[in-house]
């Protein structure tokens, strides 16, 4: 049985209980919070392996909670699955920009939510198992286990998704990948994401990489590739 601890944040008691029940049945330890303030206190008081976060919360809303969690060195690496009725493209893009690892819209299937949770935890565990793997391409160094990137010796602070996209492209220089292939590799083939959200990740990566951002090349009408020169 799983032993990971998950923080569930939702102000609707029935949904909170539904999610808690299904997670516990799968073997997870669960901590619940009904507001943004409670969520931040819970995340600060004890480490959790994943956070399921509603966006429409009383007081501090979910996006602000996510932003604060990602700005805190103690919680910035904690994966977040957003669970919300706000399913517009702009909402999804905003969530991804803040570093969310997945996005599930209400009404939802508990089985699908559990599958997404397992997938996020599995991806995180897969990276941790590769602690000795370091990918170096010219001035760029990518440490997969530590999720640490340096450009010309300067550390680059990337979100989880930005790191995954960079590693996926950089490990096969010259190969052209479509947006759909990038989404499938980073989040799974059932992830409800748009072309625009992939472009958002690429724009963020280029900005953070500075001059080395030129290595991520747009292939018009197809997608992106990583070039070495």
- Encode pLDDT of 139-191 as tens digits: 888 887 777 899 888 899 888 788 888 988 988 888 898 888 888 777 654 55
What CATH number corresponds to the domain at position 47? 3.40.50.2300
Inter-residue contact 78 to 65 (CB < 8 Å): no
Given 128, 154, 186, which residue is the final one in a domain?
128
Mean pLDDT of 182-206: 74
pLDDT of residue 195: 65
> What torsion do the CA atoms of 213, 229, 170, 49 make, to the nearest 10 degrees?
-30
Given 104, 128, 152, which residue is the final one in a domain?
128
Residues 6+ apart with CB under 8 A from 28: 2, 3, 4, 5, 6, 117
**Whether residues 119 and 170 fall in one domain:** no
Q: Which residue has the tokens 């990918």?
A: 135
Q: How many CB atoms lie within 10 A of CB 187?
A: 22
**Whether residues 143 and 116 fall in one domain:** no
**Whether residues 101 and 169 fall in one domain:** no
pLDDT at 87 over 90: no
CA distance 150 to 143: 9
208: left (phi over 0), alpha (psi -120 to 50) or beta: alpha
Rg for the chain, CA atoms, rounded:
18
Structural domain range at position 15: 5-128
**Whether residues 144 and 173 fall in one domain:** yes
Given 75, 97, 128, which residue is the final one in a domain?
128
pLDDT at 72 over 70: yes
- Encode pLDDT of 9-57 as tens digits: 999 999 999 999 999 999 999 999 999 999 999 999 988 999 999 988 9
């Amino acid at each position: 049985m799983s032993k990971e601890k998950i923080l569930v944040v939702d102000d609707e008691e029935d949904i909170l209980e539904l999610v808690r029940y299904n997670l516990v049945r799968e073997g997870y330890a669960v901590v619940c919070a009904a507001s943004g303030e409670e969520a931040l206190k819970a995340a600060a008081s004890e480490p959790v392996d994943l956070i399921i976060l509603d966006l429409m919360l009383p007081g501090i809303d979910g996006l602000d909670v996510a932003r604060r969690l990602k700005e805190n060195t103690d919680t910035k690496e904690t994966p977040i699955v957003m669970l919300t009725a706000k399913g517009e493209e702009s909402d999804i893009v905003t969530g991804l920009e803040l570093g969310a690892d997945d996005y599930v819209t209400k009404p939802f299937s508990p089985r699908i939510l559990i599958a997404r949770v397992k997938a996020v935890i599995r991806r995180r565990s897969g990276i941790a198992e590769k602690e000795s793997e370091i990918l170096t391409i010219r001035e760029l160094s990518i440490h997969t286990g530590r999720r640490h990137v340096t450009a010309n010796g300067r550390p680059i602070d990337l979100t989880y998704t930005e790191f995954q996209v960079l590693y996926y492209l950089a490990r096969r220089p010259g190969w052209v990948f479509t947006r759909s292939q990038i989404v499938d590799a980073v989040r799974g083939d059932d992830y409800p994401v748009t072309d625009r959200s992939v472009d958002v990740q690429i724009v963020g990566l280029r900005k953070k990489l500075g001059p080395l951002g030129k290595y991520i090349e747009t292939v018009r009408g197809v997608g992106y590739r990583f070039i070495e020169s």
